Chain A
Amino acid sequence: MAVVPFHRVNVLTGIKASRIIEDPVQCADLILKARRPLLVLGAKLTEWSVDGKLALEYALDIARAARIPACGTAHVKGKMVELGVSPDSAYDAVEIVNALKDPDWRGVKKEGNHDLVIFLGVRSDLEEQCLSVLKHFAYKHLRTMTLDKYYFPHANYSLPNFKKDERWGRFLEELIENLRKER
């Protein structure tokens, strides 16, 4: 059955739609299998919270657990600094995507381009367009995943639409736990 994205401005993507990941263990496996993953963190992470925990803190826990470099977009860096963390890089969403689509880019760690890019917290219309860029112009060298609480059809892997934020929060907690365990 076709999945309708939560924000319906993102419907009708065409032929290729993302695979839904509902199991945190499977999600952790996919992340850990990647050689050079990158986490792209958007400004919504500074607004959303689940059970009193800021969404950005979940994202930083994921980065730490899987030892993934983080790229802060928009003004996320300011909030990260407040939380005592420096991002590995700071680009705006369209800039990091512009770099990622070049297979010869050396990546945020200057070790080579990334093979898995995980988006979290970019506003959904912009995130979907960024995923579209990578789907069409970077499909040969990288795959994309979103860990947002909504379904994103242009990604390779996406979480489903979560009816309740708490269930999304639980997914992220279990993902973090599995990343720590399997690392």
Chain B
Amino acid sequence: MAEVVKELTRKEQEIRELIRAEMPWEPVGPTPMPGIADLRSWDMRLLKTYKPWYAPFCDLCCLCTYGKCDLSQGRRGACGLDIATQQARMILLTCLMGCSAHAAHGGHILEHLIEKYGADKKIDMGTYIELEAPNIRAVTGLKPETLGDLKTVIEYVYKEITHLLDSTHFGQEGSYLDYESKALHASMLDHVGMEVADIAQIAGFDFPTSVADTPLVDMGWASVDESKPVILLVGHNPATSTTIIDYLRENDLYDKVEVAGICCIALETTRYSDRAKIVGPLSRQLFYVRTGIADVIVTDEQCIRTDMLIEGDKVDSRVIATLDKAMYGLEDVTEKDTDEIVKRMVEDKKHFAILNTKKAAEVAAKVALQVAPQRRKRWITEEEAIELAKKCTNCGMCERVCPNLFGIGDGIVQVAKRNFDLIKEQFNQCIGCGKCEQECPNKVPIFKIMQVAASKETWKIRAGRGAVMDTEIRNVGAPITLGTIPGVLAFVGCSNYPDIDDVADMVYEFARRKYIVMLTGCAAMVAGMKKFENGKTVYELFPPEFDAGGVLNVGSCVSNAHISGAAIKIANIFAALPLRANYEVMADYVLNRVGACGIAWGAMSQKAASIGTGFNRLGIPVLLGPHSSKYRRLYLSRKEEDDWTVMDARKREIVDSGEPSPEHIAYVCETKEKAMVMIPKLCIRKNDTPQGRSIKLNHYISLYKKYMGGGLPEDVQLFIRRDADIPLVYKKEVRVYLKEIDWQPKEPVGLPTLIGTYPTKVPLEAVIH
């Protein structure tokens, strides 16, 4: 027993040294660098109300050679696992994939920058950001000052990933709730890893920080000047893309070469140079690559098509793989002579792996300049498309394999009849997987035909601005927590949406209603790919500040840490709650008092799963598009049955609020219209003032009337505490309804918190400000 105590003390001491516990910026809270079990009781409290909802893909487990095991109808596998626990294990694996992708991204960027500047390079987030790393400070207890400090943090994340992955091995964890707790842990760490990555990028690449009004940059394939050599970037990691721009600048070539990107790397690169172009989101990757406009394709990591070499070969684009995570079986020529590499790529049409950023940049530029003059690729004409479309017999095979469940054959047949209306509509629904073309028995070149459907419009998007400024938090902390700014919405994730216009429509609707709208990744791009009044995108129509009605492009996937960071900043800067190693206090505050909601309408990847689950642990509900039921797990409550008990910290009494706010924390909506109704509801919080609640209910009721055929929401009574909560414009109608159902007023909860309702090391005093 004595030995155990000694071991724990040594472990604690190690952590205290790593986080420089003696530094007096704030006392160290209860969970510095938490391990798997340290925040478990918080997770269990969350999962008590928001129970996991599992939708298994299949009846089986096939992860070991004792199987396959049938887990249906109460059966257990050879290891004893049941179907719920198997789903939770898969979710943990999914979140670990996402978390490790961002952490490894951060780790690589750190290595790159430490090599360049040294570990002592200071982190400077600009004049208006003193709280530089809210996730890192809340989770680890370390206040990072240098790139070397960030390395300490990322090594902690790596260590935790190993322990978590270990638990998925045969014969270990046997509880679905504990697997969920581990998934929540992995996903919290994801936000730490993302924060490391983006702080390093801001410090090392001089990305915008402490500024809202970043430049408006060009987006859309038509923004790429095809008359110039084109270098196309695909992926996420800007180590090489920024070096390419440096090389072009240093050699006076930047006017002569187009640098364009797809997916997050496009967002990262426009943070470095506003002359770079954004082709579009992930869903446009295959489509654009197949146009053959790119002379050189430079890949880095995450969300790159794995058949890039095959696709490059089809159109004579040369591919350079620049990171060891995705080398495609290519010859590694990092140590070879640059001119020799260029010669082989130009003359022999070779693709190579080059893991040195400077060499990769030089080769990309030289090859693009030499290959472009021979490029004979162009967009096809309508007449050519009509001829190609005549091969289609509309057999329906394309529809059968379409993940977005539509029949492109109907559109192709219309093209053959010289009608392009349907295919233009379908192009907006296309998620760009290419399965239709692969399945076509008549070899109809569907993606080529789609070139006539693709809009040649260009759009403006604001370059990613990075973190929300402390000064902005001070200005809006009160209206957000009181409810008079009706909510903070974060549109995040990939481009697996039912329709490309959905995100822009939602952003427009809620920005007009004075919600604060933050965006990252592919969602940030598609929000800008629709023009509203006066031909303007949401980035031109709405201000870029973190304030009512603001529309903020925060940046790429790793910039999601600035969204969770903003919520933590509200708790620390506005509410003055203790931050250092006090994750539970932050999460409790956000869940109960910050009306924030994530919307991952097109979530597809494992990274999106961990980003969303990380928001969930911090108490932020996430609304997902219909495809996301394929993640297999949601966190849902049952509003009239579940436990809505909270501690009223002001009275120090446990009270049954009876109010399901937020109602769910991971929720799938079937249609955009329903999402429009759910979003305002998910922004309701127990501490709303009567004025704030009335504003929030006004949006809930008006959007319900707009999309659900009139009437009042069936559950509106659950969110009305007193008559003063009822929006003025609906007062009469709501009062009649409340009378009909014999509604009784209830006392609002003064200072709602879950602390004190479950076993925790956090004292109640910690959440009283």
A residues lining the B interface (CB < 8 Å):
6-9, 12-16, 42-43, 73-75, 77-82, 89-90, 92-95, 97-99, 102, 122-126, 129-130, 132-133, 135-137, 139
Please, which residue of chain B has its CB at the minimum distance from the CB of A82?
Answer: B709
Minimum C-beta distance from B298 to chain A (A) = 32
Given contacts A123-B405, A125-B626, contact A74 B72 (CB under 8 A): no
Q: Which residues does chain B contribute within 8 Å of A78, judged by CB atoms? A: 673, 707-710
Given contacts A42-B670, A94-B667, A124-B405, contact A15 B711 (CB under 8 A): no
Minimum C-beta distance from A96 to chain B (A) = 11
Q: Which residues does chain A contribute within 8 Å of B60, judged by CB atoms? A: 14-15
Q: Select A125's contact among B70, B83, B629, beta carbons within 8 Å.
A: B629
Q: Which residues does chain A contribute within 8 Å of B403, judged by CB atoms? A: 9, 125
Q: Which residues does chain B contribute within 8 Å of A7, judged by CB atoms? A: 399-400, 402, 405
Chain B positions 604-639 with a Cβ under 8 Å from a chain A Cβ: 626-627, 629-630, 632, 634, 636, 638
In the complex, besides A16-B73, A136-B73, 15 extra interface pairs with C-beta distance below 8 angstroms are A7-B399, A9-B401, A9-B630, A13-B57, A14-B70, A43-B673, A74-B670, A81-B711, A94-B629, A125-B627, A126-B668, A126-B670, A132-B56, A133-B54, A133-B55
Instruction: Indicate whether B63 reaches chain A with its CB closer than 8 angstroms.
Output: no
Instruction: Indicate whether B222 reaches chain A with its CB closer than 8 angstroms.
Output: no
Instruction: Indicate whether B53 reaches chain A with its CB closer than 8 angstroms.
Output: yes
Q: Are A75 and B671 in contact (CB under 8 A)?
A: yes
Q: Select A93's contact among B56, B59, B670, B678, beta carbons within 8 Å.
A: B670
Q: Are A43 and B72 in contact (CB under 8 A)?
A: no
Instruction: Indicate whether B674 reaches chain A with its CB closer than 8 angstroms.
Output: yes
Please, which residue of chain B has its CB at the minimum distance from the CB of A124?
Answer: B405
Q: Select A122's contact among B54, B84, B670, B714, beta carbons within 8 Å.
A: B670
Docked pose: A80 CA to B54 CA in angstroms = 30
Q: Are B58 and A94 in contact (CB under 8 A)?
A: no
A-B contact pairs, 5 of them (CB 8 A): A13-B58, A90-B708, A125-B630, A129-B629, A137-B54
Q: Which residues does chain A contribute within 8 Å of B632, judged by CB atoms? A: 129
Q: Are B629 and A130 in contact (CB under 8 A)?
A: yes
Q: Are B59 and A126 in contact (CB under 8 A)?
A: no
Minimum C-beta distance from A46 to chain B (A) = 9
Chain B positions 520-538 with a Cβ under 8 Å from a chain A Cβ: none
Q: Are A98 and B55 in contact (CB under 8 A)?
A: no
Docked pose: A57 CA to B141 CA in angstroms = 60
Chain B positions 710-745 with a Cβ under 8 Å from a chain A Cβ: 710-711, 714
Docked pose: A81 CA to B671 CA in angstroms = 18
Q: Which residues does chain B contribute within 8 Å of A93, judged by CB atoms? A: 668, 670
Q: Are B709 and A80 in contact (CB under 8 A)?
A: yes
Q: Which residues does chain B contribute within 8 Å of A81, judged by CB atoms? A: 708-711
Minimum C-beta distance from A157 to chain B (A) = 17
Q: Are B72 and A14 in contact (CB under 8 A)?
A: yes
Docked pose: A48 CA to B54 CA in angstroms = 29
Q: Name, among B84, B674, B677, B678, the residue most crowded by chain A CB atoms within 10 Å (CB to CB).
A: B674
Please, which residue of chain B has its CB at the minimum distance from the CB of A46?
Answer: B671
Q: Select A74's contact among B401, B634, B673, B711, beta carbons within 8 Å.
A: B673
Interface size class of B (residues with CB under 8 A): 35 or more
Minimum C-beta distance from B59 to chain A (A) = 3
Q: Which residues does chain B contribute within 8 Å of A8, judged by CB atoms? A: 400-401
Instruction: Indicate whether B575 reaches chain A with its CB closer than 8 angstroms.
Output: no
Q: Are B668 and A15 in contact (CB under 8 A)?
A: no
Docked pose: A92 CA to B629 CA in angstroms = 13
Q: Are B55 and A129 in contact (CB under 8 A)?
A: yes
Docked pose: A115 CA to B707 CA in angstroms = 31
Q: Which residues does chain A contribute within 8 Å of B59, judged by CB atoms? A: 13-16, 136
Minimum C-beta distance from B640 to chain A (A) = 9
Docked pose: A157 CA to B373 CA in angstroms = 61
Q: Are B634 and A94 in contact (CB under 8 A)?
A: yes
Q: Which residues does chain A contribute within 8 Å of B330, judged by CB atoms? A: none
Minimum C-beta distance from A88 to chain B (A) = 11
Q: Are A130 and B55 in contact (CB under 8 A)?
A: yes
Docked pose: A130 CA to B628 CA in angstroms = 12
Please, which residue of chain B has its CB at the minimum distance from the CB of A9?
Answer: B403
Docked pose: A139 CA to B59 CA in angstroms = 13
Docked pose: A126 CA to B60 CA in angstroms = 20
Docked pose: A50 CA to B711 CA in angstroms = 30
Nearest 4 pairs between A and B by C-beta? A14-B59, A78-B709, A81-B709, A75-B673
Given contacts A92-B670, A132-B56, A133-B53, contact A16 B72 (CB under 8 A): yes
Chain B positions 35-80 with a Cβ under 8 Å from a chain A Cβ: 53-60, 70-73
Chain B positions 681-723 with a Cβ under 8 Å from a chain A Cβ: 707-711, 714
Minimum C-beta distance from B86 to chain A (A) = 10
Q: Which residues does chain A contribute within 8 Å of B84, judged by CB atoms? A: 137
Instruction: Indicate whether B655 reaches chain A with its CB closer than 8 angstroms.
Output: no
Please, which residue of chain B has its CB at the minimum distance from the CB of A14?
Answer: B59
Docked pose: A90 CA to B709 CA in angstroms = 12
Q: Are B72 and A99 in contact (CB under 8 A)?
A: no
Q: Name, among B84, B629, B674, B714, the residue most crowded by chain A CB atoms within 10 Å (CB to CB).
A: B629
Please, which residue of chain B has its CB at the minimum distance from the CB of A13?
Answer: B58
Q: Are B670 and A123 in contact (CB under 8 A)?
A: yes
Instruction: Indicate whether B669 reaches chain A with its CB closer than 8 angstroms.
Output: yes
Given contacts A126-B668, A130-B55, contact A136 B72 (CB under 8 A): yes
Q: Are B636 and A98 in contact (CB under 8 A)?
A: yes
Q: Which residues does chain A contribute within 8 Å of B709, judged by CB atoms? A: 75, 77-82
Q: Are A77 and B708 in contact (CB under 8 A)?
A: yes
Docked pose: A139 CA to B70 CA in angstroms = 15
Docked pose: A130 CA to B714 CA in angstroms = 22
Q: Are A12 and B670 in contact (CB under 8 A)?
A: no
Q: Which residues does chain A contribute within 8 Å of B629, judged by CB atoms? A: 94, 125-126, 129-130
Minimum C-beta distance from B81 to chain A (A) = 13
Q: Which residues does chain B contribute within 8 Å of A77, judged by CB atoms? A: 708-709
Contact indicator per residue, chain B 357-377, by CB within 8 Å of chain A (1) or not (0): 000000000000000000000
Q: Select B56's contact among A9, A98, A125, A136, beta carbons within 8 Å.
A: A136
Please, which residue of chain B has its CB at the minimum distance from the CB of A134?
Answer: B55
Docked pose: A74 CA to B626 CA in angstroms = 11
Q: Are B53 and A98 in contact (CB under 8 A)?
A: yes
Minimum C-beta distance from A17 to chain B (A) = 9
Minimum C-beta distance from B740 to chain A (A) = 15
Q: Name, among B60, B708, B709, the residue most crowded by chain A CB atoms within 10 Å (CB to CB).
A: B709
Q: Which residues does chain B contribute within 8 Å of A94, judged by CB atoms? A: 53, 629, 634, 636, 667-668
Docked pose: A137 CA to B83 CA in angstroms = 9
Q: Are A136 and B405 in contact (CB under 8 A)?
A: no
Q: Select B55's contact among A43, A89, A122, A132, beta carbons within 8 Å.
A: A132
Docked pose: A73 CA to B53 CA in angstroms = 18
Q: Name, among A93, A123, A136, A137, the residue most crowded by chain B CB atoms within 10 Å (CB to CB).
A: A136
Q: Which residues does chain B contribute within 8 Å of A12, judged by CB atoms? A: 57-58
Q: Which residues does chain A contribute within 8 Å of B58, judged by CB atoms? A: 12-14
Docked pose: A132 CA to B53 CA in angstroms = 11
Please, which residue of chain B has its CB at the minimum distance from the CB of A5?
Answer: B400
Q: Are A74 and B669 in contact (CB under 8 A)?
A: yes
Q: Which residues does chain A contribute within 8 Å of B636, judged by CB atoms? A: 94-95, 98
Please, which residue of chain B has its CB at the minimum distance from the CB of A93?
Answer: B670
Q: Are A6 and B400 in contact (CB under 8 A)?
A: yes
Docked pose: A59 CA to B427 CA in angstroms = 31
Q: Which residues does chain B contribute within 8 Å of A6, judged by CB atoms? A: 399-400
Q: Which residues does chain A contribute within 8 Å of B70, judged by CB atoms? A: 14-15
Docked pose: A126 CA to B636 CA in angstroms = 16
Docked pose: A93 CA to B638 CA in angstroms = 13
Q: Select B674's contact among A74, A80, A137, beta carbons within 8 Å.
A: A74
Docked pose: A82 CA to B711 CA in angstroms = 12
Given contacts A14-B58, A75-B673, contact A136 B83 (CB under 8 A): yes
Docked pose: A179 CA to B399 CA in angstroms = 33
Minimum C-beta distance from B55 to chain A (A) = 4
Docked pose: A127 CA to B71 CA in angstroms = 21
